[in-house]
């Protein structure tokens, strides 16, 4: 049955009934292999390989349609029991689905009004991947080291053209949550910026986590608007987003087992994760001066307060003896500002430089929890552009006032070779180190060597 559904999906998406319409095909295959640098019993990183096929049909001068399929297949089996060996999805794991699928109408009812409906990637912002206003599509954290990756989501988008300006409106019927890496992200309360009372100890590895999405109704749909244009050769936009953060946050902790004493040890609990509402007022611009490209992008985040409700059923008496159940606030209803500043320049001789300063990573919320990231890379091509050398790196600082205890760095040297048209082979390494008070420092045991091969068609 699954094979039949796969076959019919491919036929429906990529072989239109009217073959007389202009149809374009494109896609790529990318292999991704990684090995941890440090000695370990499991040195291979379980990354996925990707096959993507895209078809765009130009139905007329008033309509077009696009569909793309995404297949992620893994190198290693997930089988752990004898029964698993009889399950194809455990022996040969893969993810298959629609990447984008939408249709567009041009000049719909009004001249200059275009509509696009369906599953789509709506990228906002002028920064290079480190966008602070790109909130319409969920984050893709399946590769934690590929910053800024997003997933398409179902939306209705209208664009009205007014000379050099565009007025854009977007409606998303429901929240699509972020995609977490295999195994998820361990939940660490203190990393969210609030403290746990001294008389309470949580064993987070023993906790049970549940996730509750917002109800799927009109009241919980999301929307956004944007005015974009060009003035004095500067591209700019002003935007507004109303919806949900796609990264779950703790909203309820139900304690089921504890050990009396000072401090109280919380042995087992059910932590319910929800999705906070947010509003974002955004602005960005990009231009060029003296052959130096520059961009600025910022978002003023207006969150709703999120308090964590703690219940202990018949165990409440244990807290009463110590002054009551502690109050924890995940996020205060105080505005905070996240921004990215960047520039790029090509020197004589073809050396390209790209540098950005990001205040507030995608996972960080609340003014007191925003860290700084200085990211840059330089590259140079040789042998008629067949060989490319690239050096990327970044500095992550959580507190400049105490720099020595709150910094980390990442260095990524790599070499790419193009043996034929549309074929690229890349070999590189990732080196990270620093303090665990920073994002990069928490991943310092993930130093690795990687090899990638990509064929585009």
Q: pLDDT tens for residues 57-68?
A: 998 889 999 999
Considering the chain, what percentage of its residues have pLDDT values greater than 70? 88
- Which region among 221-230, 264-273, 421-430 has the lowest average model confidence (pLDDT)? 264-273
pLDDT band at 186 (very low <50, low <70, confident <90, very high): very low
Helix %, strand %, coil % of the chain (to 5): 10, 55, 35
Mean pLDDT over 176-196 rounds to 64
Residue 330 and residue 306 in contact, taking contact as beta carbons nearer than 8 Å: yes
99 Cβ contact list (under 8 Å, min separation 6)? 52, 54, 68, 69, 70, 119, 152
3-state secondary structure of 2: helix
Find how far residue 260's CA is from the centre of its chain: 41
Residue 356 and residue 128 in contact, taking contact as beta carbons nearer than 8 Å: yes
Find how far residue 122's CA is from the centre of its chain: 13
Element (H, E) at 319: helix 316-320
Check whether 7 has a pLDDT greater than 60: no
pLDDT band at 322 (very low <50, low <70, confident <90, very high): low
**Alpha-carbon distances of 422 from 259, 350, 419, 457, rounded to whole Å:** 62, 21, 9, 7
Phi-psi region of 109 (alpha: psi -120 to 50; beta: other; left: phi over 0): left
Q: How far apart are the first and last CA of the chain?
A: 30
Residue 44 and residue 66 in contact, taking contact as beta carbons nearer than 8 Å: no
3-state secondary structure of 419: strand
Element (H, E) at 316: helix 316-320
**Alpha-carbon distances of 441 from 20, 303, 395, rounded to whole Å:** 56, 27, 10
Phi-psi region of 313 (alpha: psi -120 to 50; beta: other; left: phi over 0): left
What letter would DSSP give residue 305?
Answer: P
Task: Convert the pLDDT of each residue in 190-235 to its tens digit.
Answer: 555 455 666 677 776 677 888 899 998 999 999 999 999 999 999 9
The overall average pLDDT reported for the chain is 87
Check whether 1 has a pLDDT greater than 90: no
The CA radius of gyration of the chain, in Å to the nearest whole number, is 25
Task: Convert the pLDDT of each residue in 118-143 to its tens digit.
Answer: 999 999 999 999 999 999 999 999 88
Q: How buried is 127 (Cβ within 10 angstroms: 0-12 exposed, 13-18 middle, 19+ buried)?
A: buried
Residue 404 tokens, joined: 């020595």
**Alpha-carbon distances of 313 from 200, 310, 325, 395, rounded to whole Å:** 17, 10, 12, 46
At residue 294, the pLDDT reads: 98
Residue 278 tokens, joined: 């947010």
Neighbouring-strand partners of residue 345: 353
The listed range with the strongest mean pLDDT (88-102, 142-156, 392-406) is 392-406
pLDDT band at 17 (very low <50, low <70, confident <90, very high): very low
Say if pTM beats, i.e. exceeds, 0.75.
Answer: yes
**No. of helices (H) and no. of strands (E), the chain:** 3, 25
């Amino acid at each position: 049955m699954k094979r039949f559904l796969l076959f019919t999906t491919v036929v429906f998406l990529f072989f239109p009934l009217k073959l007389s319409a202009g149809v374009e095909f494109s896609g790529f295959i990318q292999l991704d292999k990684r090995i941890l640098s440090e000695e370990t019993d499991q040195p291979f990183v379980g990354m996925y390989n990707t096959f993507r096929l895209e078809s765009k049909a130009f139905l007329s001068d008033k309509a077009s349609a696009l569909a793309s399929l995404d297949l992620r297949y893994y190198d290693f089996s997930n089988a752990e029991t004898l029964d698993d060996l009889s399950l194809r999805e455990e022996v040969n794991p893969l993810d298959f689905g629609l990447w984008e699928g939408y249709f567009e109408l041009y000049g719909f009812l009004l001249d200059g009004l275009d509509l696009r409906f369906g599953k789509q990637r709506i990228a906002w912002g002028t920064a290079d991947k480190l966008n602070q206003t790109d909130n319409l599509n969920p984050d893709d954290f399946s590769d934690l080291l590929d910053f800024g990756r997003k997933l398409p989501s179902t939306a209705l988008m209208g664009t009205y053209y007014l000379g050099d300006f565009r007025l854009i409106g977007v409606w998303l019927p429901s929240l699509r949550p972020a995609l977490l890496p295999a195994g998820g992200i361990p939940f660490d309360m203190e990393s969210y910026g609030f403290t746990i009372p001294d008389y309470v100890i949580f064993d987070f590895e023993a906790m049970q986590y549940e996730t509750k999405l917002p109800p799927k109704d009109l009241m919980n749909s999301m929307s956004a608007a944007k005015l974009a244009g060009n003035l004095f050769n500067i591209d700019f936009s002003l935007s507004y987003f109303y919806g949900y953060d796609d990264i779950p946050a703790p909203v309820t902790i139900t304690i089921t087992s504890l050990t009396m004493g000072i401090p109280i040890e919380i042995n087992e609990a059910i932590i319910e994760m929800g999705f906070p509402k947010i509003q974002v007022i955004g602005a960005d611009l990009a231009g060029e001066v003296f052959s130096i490209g520059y961009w600025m992008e910022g978002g003023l985040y207006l969150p709703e307060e999120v308090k964590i409700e703690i219940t202990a059923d018949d165990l409440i008496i244990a807290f009463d003896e110590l002054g009551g159940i502690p109050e924890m606030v995940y996020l205060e209803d105080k505005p905070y500002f996240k921004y990215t500043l960047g520039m790029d320049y090509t020197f004589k001789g073809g050396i390209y430089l790209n540098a950005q300063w990001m205040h507030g990573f995608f996972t960080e919320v609340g003014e007191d929890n925003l860290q700084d990231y200085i990211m840059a890379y330089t590259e140079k091509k040789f042998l008629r552009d067949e060989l490319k050398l690239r050096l990327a790196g970044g500095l992550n600082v959580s507190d400049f006032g105490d720099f020595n205890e709150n910094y980390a760095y990442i260095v990524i040297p790599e070499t790419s070779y193009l043996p034929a048209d549309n074929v690229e082979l890349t070999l590189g390494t990732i080196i990270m180190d620093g303090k665990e008070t920073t994002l990069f420092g928490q991943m310092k045991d993930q130093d690795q060597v990687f090899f990638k091969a990509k064929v585009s068609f």
